[in-house]
Chain A
Amino acid sequence: MSTWLPSAPRSALVARQQLYRHIREYFHARSVLEVETPLLSQAPVADPNIIPIQAGQRWLHTSPEYAMKRLLCAGYGDIYQICKVFREGEAGKRHNPEFTMLEWYRVGWTHRQLMDEVAELLQLLLAARFSELPCLHLTYAQALQQYAQLDVHHCSDDAIAQRGQQLANADLELDRDGWLDVIMSHQVEPALPHNALVFIDQFPASQAALAKLANNEQGVLIAQRFEVFFNGMELANGYQELTNAEQQLQRFQHELQGTERPHDAHLIAALEHGLPDCAGVALGLDRVLLHLLDAQNIAQVLSFDWQRA
């Protein structure tokens, strides 16, 4: 096999062009502004499980989140971006360390409203292969109850660790959230219903990332965060965005503990100025293409995958 050759057929590149056109038409019709933000920043995104790639004195962004939020703080209104993002070590059949993300923000919206828009857009983008795409809504607790028989908000750390160890066939020495990641990725995701857009929301408060916290109907503190799964694969992650600068700074300090990475002072300053109430979401476009083209490996939708880059 010649490694100079592309990993995707020409038809996949045509499909990608159409996908981008549909997205741009969709947002143009709704007066959402397309923006570009820097790929190289002075501070990386603070996320304990996402490793940024350093380029000289700068960091390649792992998502355009911070810069886009600064635009929101500056009052630029609804915005979207299609861009490459970079994550160290994420390579596999469904991952490429350099991949394409669609990220957008809706000012004054709740994450529930945004979930409806995500569903509408995905139904449109996937229509060529899936004419009818029903939506299914589950809370994180319901998903774990239904597909792993675990009561996540009341289950002991030991019970969760025990299940995780069974699934991993090893003691990986993880904390509660780490074992929940094992259960989610090994047991729940593969069991989710197929040929439907599955929305999971109300994540544990400890997995809030940049989402606001709130009490749910049962009085349990949860993160106003959602993920979208399709045929057992995660496609998107969205938040009711955290607007409180002080809480944001605390999360930064917690997440960057023990690393040499700086936190993004620009974002904190912008939040101090004021982030309007908003909801935002990031959608992996290579995976949308994967489903659209019924491909088994992300390489089949990339002109040159990681091995050939």
Chain B
Amino acid sequence: MANYSSNEFKPGLRVLVDNEPCIMIDIEFVKPGKGQAFSRVKLRSIRTQRVWERTFKSGESLESADIVDRDMEYLYSDDEFWYFMATDGSFEQLGASREALGDTIKWLKEQVVYIVTLYNDAVVSVSAPNFVELEVLETDPGLKGDTAQGGTKPATLTTGAVVRVPLFIIEGEKLKIDTRSGEYISRA
């Protein structure tokens, strides 16, 4: 496994920090004039998506992490694993655990392509595309006359996600949702 010295740190680098696979987001080189040099690194943990900061001494090195992102289409679940198929023509299938799926389970829909992140060939996380189209399973009927006020109400989608929608939305409608904010964008 390759090692990266602090002077090779750069955004996008995939490394192991305390045995946690991480991606570097930002690096700041700091050095008080006559003092020691440090690299302040912003990292994202692959497993938890948590963003955190850590300082390294100049000359410290980190082991590279074998992290790979793949475009994969969601197929089905057997309630233990959620299966995805590679869209690169290999038709390779991989199962993601509930833990690896994380919050993305709220935006999971068959035939949609997700980014599946592998660490040492095992699925550690799944990221949804920025926008998905999902159907409303359940919502209160809209109150007439309130539409001009721009009021909202909760709606439960087929995936179980609950989003705020305009009052005119009815059950069975397809909606476009921003998965980053979890917000309703428009009717699909």
Question: Is chain B's interface secondary structure helix, strand, loop, or mixed overall?
Answer: strand
User: Is B36 a contact of A207 with CB atoms below 8 Å?
Assistant: no
| Count of interface residues, chain B, beta-carbon cutoff 8 Å | 22
Residue A264 at the B interface, CB < 8 A?
no
With beta carbons under 8 angstroms apart, the residue of B27, B32, B52 that contacts A92 is: B27
Q: Bits for A85-99, please: 1 = Cβ < 8 Å to B, else 0.
A: 000011111110000
B35 adjacent to chain A (CB < 8 Å): yes
User: How many Å from the CB of A22 to the closest CB on chain B?
Assistant: 23
**A204-228 Cβ-contact flags toward B at 8 Å (1 or 0):** 0001010000000000000000010
The interface-forming segment of B55-63, B144-152, B175-183 is B55-63
In the complex, chain A residues whose CB is within 8 Å of the CB of B109: none
- Is B38 at the interface (CB under 8 A from chain A)? yes
B38 & A182 in contact (Cβ 8 Å cutoff): yes
The answer to whether B29 and A186 have CB atoms under 8 Å apart is no
Contacts of A50 in B (CB 8 A): 34
Q: Is the CB of A91 within 8 A of B35?
A: no
Q: Which of B7, B30, B36, B53 contacts A174 (CB 8 A)?
A: B36
Q: What are the 10 A-B residue pairs with the smallest beta carbon separation, nearest first?
A: A92-B29, A181-B35, A168-B55, A185-B30, A237-B33, A169-B54, A181-B36, A181-B32, A209-B34, A184-B32
Jot down 15 A-B pairs with beta carbons below 8 A, ordered by A.
A49-B36, A89-B59, A90-B29, A90-B37, A91-B7, A92-B27, A170-B55, A172-B57, A181-B38, A184-B35, A185-B30, A185-B32, A207-B35, A209-B34, A234-B33
Which residues of B come within 8 Å of A, CB atoms? Answer: 7, 27-38, 40, 52-59
